[in-house]
C-alpha cells in the first residue's frame, strides 16, 4: 500500500492510529464503576501540560489499524465501547461507530470537542480545554461535561463552559491527579456551595487498574 493510499483510508476512517485497547472499569464521571472496553486513538494537538497520556499525542507512533479489526476485537469483551485518546475527533469517527452500532453495542466518546463531531454516540463526555475550545455544535449534544480542576482559575472556566451546554448535560468537577491533595477540598467546598455540580474522581487510579 502506498502512502497516499493509506492516507486515503485514514481520511475515510477505515484506518485509525490505534494506541491501545483494554477491558476495564470506567473510572470517571457519570458511568464510573461500569465495565467497558476502551479504544484509545492516537493523535492530539491540544497539548494539556498535565496530560497523563502524552505518548498519545503523536499519531505517527501508533500503527494505522483497520477499523473493522478494532470493532471485531472490541465487541468480544463488552457491550459498552469507550473511544478516547489523544483526541479521537482528530479523525472521522463515522465508520467506527457505524460498525459498532451494527454490532448492537453502546458507543461512548471522551473528547475535548476541539474538532468537528463525527460518529453516532450514545454518550458524549465533553472535557473542554482552554488551549483549544470546543466547537459550538458539541455543546448542544454533550451528555456529560467533565471539567478538570488544576487551580482555582479552573472553577471560572468550568462555569463558562457549563453556561454553554444543554440543560440535560450532567456537570462534573474532577481534580487533576497530581494536584488532587490540594484541589479536592476546594472542589468539595465548591460543589456543596454549587450543587448543580458533582465530584468526579479517577477511581481507576485508586483501584490501580487501567
Binding site members for substrate: 25-27, 40, 84, 210
**129 DSSP assignment:** B
125 in Cβ contact with 113 (< 8 Å):
no
Would you state the cell numbers that stand for residue 94, as one nine-digit string?
463515522
Binding residues for S-adenosyl-L-methionine: 50-52, 86, 127-129
Helices and strands: H and E segment counts in the chain: 7, 9
Separation CA 78–CA 32 (nearest Å): 15
**Dihedral (C-alpha) 177, 31, 39, 50: value to the nearest 10 degrees?**
-20
Cis bond upstream, residue 86 (ω within 30):
yes
Q: How far is CA 177 from the centre of its chain?
A: 16
Instruction: Please tell me the distance from the alpha carbon of residue 77 to that of residue 55, in angstroms, as a whole number.
Output: 25
Per DSSP, the three-state class of 178 is helix
- Residue identified by cell 493523535 is 43
Binding site as annotated, residues for [4Fe-4S] cluster: 44, 48, 51
Q: Cα separation of 162 and 146, whole Å?
A: 10
Amino acid at each position: 500500500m502506498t502512502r497516499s493510499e493509506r492516507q486515503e483510508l485514514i481520511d475515510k476512517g477505515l484506518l485509525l492510529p490505534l494506541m491501545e485497547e483494554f477491558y476495564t472499569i470506567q473510572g470517571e464521571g457519570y458511568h464510573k464503576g461500569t465495565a467497558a472496553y476502551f479504544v484509545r486513538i492516537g493523535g492530539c494537538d491540544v497539548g494539556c501540560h498535565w496530560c497523563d497520556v502524552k505518548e498519545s499525542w503523536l499519531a505517527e507512533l501508533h500503527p494505522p489499524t483497520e477499523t473493522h479489526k478494532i470493532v471485531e476485537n472490541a465487541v468480544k469483551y463488552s457491550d459498552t465501547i469507550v473511544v478516547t485518546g489523544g483526541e479521537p475527533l482528530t479523525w472521522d469517527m463515522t465508520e467506527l461507530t457505524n460498525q459498532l452500532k451494527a454490532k448492537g453495542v453502546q458507543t461512548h466518546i471522551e473528547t475535548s470537542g476541539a474538532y468537528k463531531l463525527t460518529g453516532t454516540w450514545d454518550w458524549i463526555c465533553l472535557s473542554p480545554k482552554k488551549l483549544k475550545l470546543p466547537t459550538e455544535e458539541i455543546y448542544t449534544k454533550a451528555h456529560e461535561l467533565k471539567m478538570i480542576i488544576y487551580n482555582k482559575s479552573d472553577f471560572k472556566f468550568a462555569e463558562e463552559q457549563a453556561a454553554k451546554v444543554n440543560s440535560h448535560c450532567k456537570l462534573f468537577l474532577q481534580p487533576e491527579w497530581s494536584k488532587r491533595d490540594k484541589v479536592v477540598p476546594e472542589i468539595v467546598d465548591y460543589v456543596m456551595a454549587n450543587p448543580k455540580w458533582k465530584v468526579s474522581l479517577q477511581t481507576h487510579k485508586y483501584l490501580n487498574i487501567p
